[in-house]
């Protein structure tokens, strides 16, 4: 399971982060987001908020594959 910790200031970290918008968080949980996006690469962080989520991958390449 991925942690919620991501580096908000490191440009490499920003390039390997994916934003998921228009997310029904009443139905979709963090574990669902991780399960869906883990097929694109190793996830090092995932945070789910009301209506949106962020997934942090190890590499920019993984993040690009996910979008």
Domain for residue 5, yes or no?
no
- pLDDT of 65 reads 98
What is d(CA 7, CA 13) in angstroms, rounded to the nearest whole number? 6
For residues 63 and 10, which has the higher predicted lDDT (pLDDT)? Answer: 63
Q: How far apart are CA 12 and CA 57, in angstroms?
A: 10
Residue 11's pLDDT is: 66
pLDDT of 13 reads 83
Say if 43 falls within a structural domain. Answer: yes
Flag whether 6 is in a domain.
Answer: no
Please give the DSSP secondary-structure letter assigned to residue 59. Answer: S
**Residue 5: what are its φ and ψ, rounded to 5°?**
-85, 120
Taking the model in full, what pTM does it have? 0.84
pLDDT tens digits for 13-66? 899 999 999 999 999 999 999 999 999 999 999 999 999 999 999 999 999 999
| Among candidate residues 11, 2, 8, the one with its CA nearest the CA of residue 32 | 2
CATH of residue 23: 3.30.70.330
Flag whether 49 is in a domain.
Answer: yes
- CA 5/CA 46 separation, integer angstroms: 8
């Amino acid at each position: 399971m991925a942690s919620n910790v991501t580096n908000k200031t490191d440009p490499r970290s920003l390039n390997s982060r994916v934003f998921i918008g228009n997310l029904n968080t009443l139905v979709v949980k963090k574990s669902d987001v991780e399960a869906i996006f883990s097929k694109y690469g190793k996830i090092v962080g995932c945070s789910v908020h009301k209506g949106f989520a962020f997934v942090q991958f190890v590499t920019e390449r993984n993040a690009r594959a996910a979008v």
